[in-house]
Amino acid sequence: MKRKVLFTIYLSVCALLASAQADIWSTIQKVEANKYIINIPDAFKRVSIPEGSGTDFKFDFSGVGLPATVNGAPMYGFYTVSHLSGHKEAQALEQCQLEFSSFYDRVTEPGYNFDTTTATIQTGQSGTLLHTRYYRRSKVSNYSRYFLIVYADKTDETYVLSVTFQYKDPGYDIERSAALGDYVRKVFAHFELR
């Protein structure tokens, strides 16, 4: 009986999250750069970044179509866009791996470091989608990170789209229950090259 009630609650929460994710895309803002357009929900907030940081844009989407808290602690979400000049997909992939694997306090699940697949942006180009998750002792937080690396032959540039989730869930169950992978794919699918 208790399992049935918990299962029903779980299904209700999943349905509510799916509905919330769909609703956030009803009003879109366009952030335009010379060579691309970022289409994001109006609720995403632009974050100022220091000049010369290597990041073109950064957005905070904490609580937007996602739970505000996980296990009683806040859940944060950030989306960044950066680029490298030239056909440098392998270099970008290596930089992404170095970025998360260089944390001295990073703890991963036994036998897991990252996984890759492909994803497609709005204008049809496909790229490598890299996913990793880990715990950082210094931050006392878990992270789920997604990077999409896509090359634009028209402009001869390699773009790195990155989504980072920070939360407290040692079992990483939030990835499944909040459908983080689907959320990220939808964010990335709204990026378009000119």
Domain regions of the chain by residue span: 2-193
Q: Say if residues 143 and 164 touch (Cβ distance below 8 Å).
A: yes
Whether the CB-CB separation of 100 and 134 falls below 8 Å is answered with: yes
Residue-level pLDDT at 52: 87
Decide: 88 and 111 in contact? Cβ < 8 Å. Answer: no
Distance CA(179)–CA(21), nearest Å, equals 9
**pLDDT confidence of residue 18:** 45
pLDDT at residue 19, as a whole number: 46
pLDDT confidence of residue 15: 45
**Residues composing the chain:** 194
Q: In CATH, which superfamily holds the domain spanning 2-193? A: Mog1/PsbP, alpha/beta/alpha sandwich (3.40.1000.10)
Please report the pLDDT score of residue 22 as a whole number: 58
- pTM as predicted: 0.87
What pLDDT is recorded for position 1?
59
Q: What are the residue ranges in the chain where pLDDT is below 50?
A: 5-6, 11, 13-20
Burial (CB < 10 A; 0-12, 13-18, 19+), residue 15, is: exposed
pLDDT at 21: 56
Q: What pLDDT does residue 3 have?
A: 56
